[in-house]
Amino acid sequence: MIQPVPLEKSPRLLNPGPTVLVSSAHGEKINVMAASWSMTLDFQPPKVAVVIESSSRTRELVDASGSFALNIPTRGLADLVLKVGNNSGKDLDKFKEFDIPYFQASKVKAPLIEGCVGWLECKVIQEPHNQKEYDLFIGEVVAAWADDRAFNNGHWIQMPKELNTLHYIAGGVFFVAGEMLEVK
Amino acid sequence: MIQPVPLEKSPRLLNPGPTVLVSSAHGEKINVMAASWSMTLDFQPPKVAVVIESSSRTRELVDASGSFALNIPTRGLADLVLKVGNNSGKDLDKFKEFDIPYFQASKVKAPLIEGCVGWLECKVIQEPHNQKEYDLFIGEVVAAWADDRAFNNGHWIQMPKELNTLHYIAGGVFFVAGEMLEVK
C-alpha cells in the first residue's frame, strides 16, 4: 500500500499542515522527534522547512548526516507523537523505549516510521545563518512515499478515519483533519 | 467576541497548520492572498514564516511596508480563500471585487479579514537572502487576536462547526479540522 510519490507532487503531503515526526540517523544512532513547525517551501525542486531546536539529539544527527525525514502520523499514532515529543533522545533511545517500528528510507539514512501515511526524505540545504539564528532547516525532498489509502495519484483522498492526520494544538491535544470540503 | 491574544501564546494559532490569508497594505493599496505555506518559527519573541511569491502584488506591498497580517479563515470562507488564491491583486482589487469585509489592525496597516478566527499582525524581520532565494519571509508577531468561540485563554477550543479551520489540499479541496483528540 506504500507507493512512491512523484517528487513534484511531494510538497502536497505537507500542504494541509499536519504535525510531523522528524526522524534522523548518523552512524549507529537513530532518533525521532515531533514537530508542528514545518511547511512546504517550494515545488520545483521540492523543498521543505522545519524547526529543529539547537539542544536536541535530532539536531546533532541532522547536523552530522545532512539529512532527515518527515513522517506524517495518523490519529492512531497520537500517543506516540506525544511520547516522542515529551522525551529527549539524549535521555533514552526512543525507538527501543517506545518500541517504534520503522523501515529503511531509499535515499537517506533516517528511519521511516511505520503507521504513518506520508514520508518525505530530505537532504539539508546548508543555510548556516538560518540554522543558527532561527533553528530553521531547509531540506530538498529527494524521495517521497505515501499510503495509497490516504494519498493517491498526487492527491490527498478521503481516507479511512483511522488514517486521519494530526494537527497539534498544545499539551496532549490535537485537531484531527478528516472531512474533505470541495469548493465548486 | 474578538479578544487580544497574549503575544507568547500567539504562535499556537498556527500550530495546527491552518491555511491562512496573507493581507498587506501600503499607501492606498491593500491586498490579500491565500497561503498554505506558513508556520510558527519561535515562541519568544513570537515569529512566523511564510512564503510570498516574488511576482505577487502581496510581495510588493510587504516589501514596501515591512509588514503583513496572517488571517486564519474558517469553513465558511472556503470560497473566498479559493477566489483570492486564484486571482492576482495585479489584475483586480480583490477587496472590491469580492466585497471582502475587514477591520483595522492595531500595529500594522494590513487589513484584518472579517469572519476569520485568528489574526497575527507581523513586522518583517529583514532577511534578504531568504526573501530572494526562497521567497521566504520571517515576521515577528507584534499583536494577535482571536475569536473566543474558537481560541480562548491561549488555547484552541472545541469550536462551533462553522468556525472549523481549513487545511489546503490542492485545487478547490481542503481538509476541515474540527474534531479534537486528547491524549491522556
Query: What is the per-residue pLDDT across B93-105, written as a single tens digit (0 to 9) for each?
Result: 999 999 999 999 9
Contact A23, A6 (CB under 8 A): no
∠ CA(B46), CA(B50), CA(B53), 5° rounding? 155
A169: nearest CB among B51, B156, B170: B156
Quick one: average pLDDT of B3-31?
97
Residue type, A154: G
Inter-chain residue contact A17 with B12, CB threshold 8 Å: no
Quick one: average pLDDT of A47-71?
98
Digit-coded pLDDT (tens) for A125-176: 999 999 999 999 999 999 999 999 999 999 999 999 999 999 999 999 999 9
Domain-located, residue A182: no
The residue written with cell numbers 494577535 in the block is: B144
CATH of the domain at A84: 2.30.110.10
Digit-coded pLDDT (tens) for B121-153: 999 999 999 999 999 999 999 999 999 999 999
Domain-located, residue A183: no
The residue written with cell numbers 530530505 in the block is: A122
Inter-chain residue contact A173 with B166, CB threshold 8 Å: no
Nearest CA in chain A to B53: A42
Q: Report how far apart the first and last C-alpha atoms of chain A are (Å, whole number).
A: 30
Domain-located, residue B182: no
Quick one: average pLDDT of A102-129?
98
pLDDT of B26 strictly over 90: yes
Domain-located, residue A124: yes
Domain-located, residue A60: yes
ipTM score of complex? 0.96
Query: C-alpha cell of A88?
Result: 529527549
- The total of structural domains in chain B comes to 1
Helix (H, G, I), strand (E, B) or coil at A67: strand
Contact B137, B66 (CB under 8 A): no
Which chain A residues are Cβ-neighbours of B157 within 8 angstroms?
A: none
The per-residue pLDDT of chain B, averaged, comes to: 97
Domain-located, residue A120: yes
Nearest CA in chain A to B172: A183
Contact B107, B121 (CB under 8 A): yes
What pLDDT, on a 0 to 100 scale, did the predictor assign at position A136?
Answer: 98
Q: What percent of chain B has pLDDT over 90?
A: 98
Digit-coded pLDDT (tens) for A40-54: 999 999 999 999 999
Which chain A residues are Cβ-neighbours of B12 within 8 angstroms?
A: 169-170
The per-residue pLDDT of chain A, averaged, comes to: 97
Which chain A residues are Cβ-neighbours of B15 within 8 angstroms?
A: 36-37, 167-170
pLDDT band (50, 70, 90) for residue A178: confident
Domain-located, residue B153: yes
Domain-located, residue A184: no
pLDDT band (50, 70, 90) for residue B52: very high
Rounded to an integer, what distance in angstroms lies between the CA atom of residue B77 and that of residue B95?
A: 14
In this prediction the pTM is 0.97
Question: Can you give the residue range of the structural domain that contains A67?
Answer: 2-177
What pLDDT, on a 0 to 100 scale, did the predictor assign at position B184?
Answer: 85
- DSSP letter at A48? E
